[in-house]
Amino acid sequence: MRTRHLALAISVVVGLGPGLVALAPPAVAAPATVKVIVMPVTVSGTAASGFSVKKQDPGFPVDCRYKDPSIAAVSPDIETCSPSAAYAPACWKAAAPGKVLCMRDASSHKVFLIKREGRFADTAIAKPRDRAPLDFVLTDGTKCQIRIGGAWGPVPHHPNLYGAYSCDRHDAAWLYAKGSHSDAHAGIDESGASWRIRTGYKHIVWRHIATAYFVATAP
């Protein structure tokens, strides 16, 4: 018992004198990222059960003719429609003529009915390295949503970082770009069970992702 008490005493003494070494607590591994697939729209182009539809007229129609798959889609025929001002990162062809149903926040239960210009292209799923969540929640509760265009200024001391997600804390999440967007998965490091991404502005920090949201088409 005497030896055990001595060991405990040494472990909590930090920098009190020469020869005393603090025993650092073991690192706590971040929990594995939970991948959630949300299915808000059916194959027939109507809102799935449990999802509400909000009509929206941004003052201009969206264009979905160019086979631009949503980065978050794990089903075909889900597009990112332009212009970026409409913020239409994941859209389905709606049953209503000349309309699309778009999801902006995969953690919500809401889709937006927006007027469409022209045809809706048949679109394949994005290549695996190009796929990334529509939005995600960090382990500290910060929520980040995919960036669709817009002008963002350079990051101090990190000129090769490109804005990937807008976050409600830590400013933004970034991918590394050399001339073109070179990071896979919009800058998310998926090499471990707990995914990570760079966040911050003046001080860039890798943070872990607790929950990542993707989208698919409901039966």
Residue 121: pLDDT above 60?
Answer: yes
Per DSSP, the three-state class of 103 is coil
pLDDT confidence bin for 21, thresholds 50/70/90: very low
- Is the pLDDT at 19 greater than 80? The verdict is no
Other Cβ atoms less than 10 A from the Cβ of 158: the count is: 15
Which region among 3-7, 35-39, 70-74, 159-163 has the lowest average model confidence (pLDDT)? 3-7
Distance (Å, whole) CA 61 – CA 39: 24
pLDDT score of 172 more than 60: yes
- Closest residue by Cα to residue 167 from 192, 190, 187, 193: 187
Residues with Cβ within 8 Å of 88's Cβ and at least 6 positions away in sequence, in order, are: 62, 64, 80, 81, 82, 100, 102, 104, 112, 114, 148
pLDDT at 179: 63
Q: Which of 164, 183, 174 is nearest to 202 (CA)?
A: 174
pTM for the whole structure: 0.85
Instruction: Tell me the pairing of strands 172-178 and 99-102.
Output: unpaired
Q: Which element (helix H / strand E) includes 11?
A: helix 2-11
Q: What value does the mean pLDDT take over residues 178-201?
A: 91
DSSP H or E run through 218: strand 205-218
Range name among 2-11, 118-127, 184-193, 204-213 with the lowest pLDDT average: 2-11
Helix, coil or strand: residue 55? strand
**Tokens in use for 58?**
């941004």
Mean of pLDDT over the chain? 88
Structure confidence at residue 56 as a pLDDT band (50, 70, 90): confident
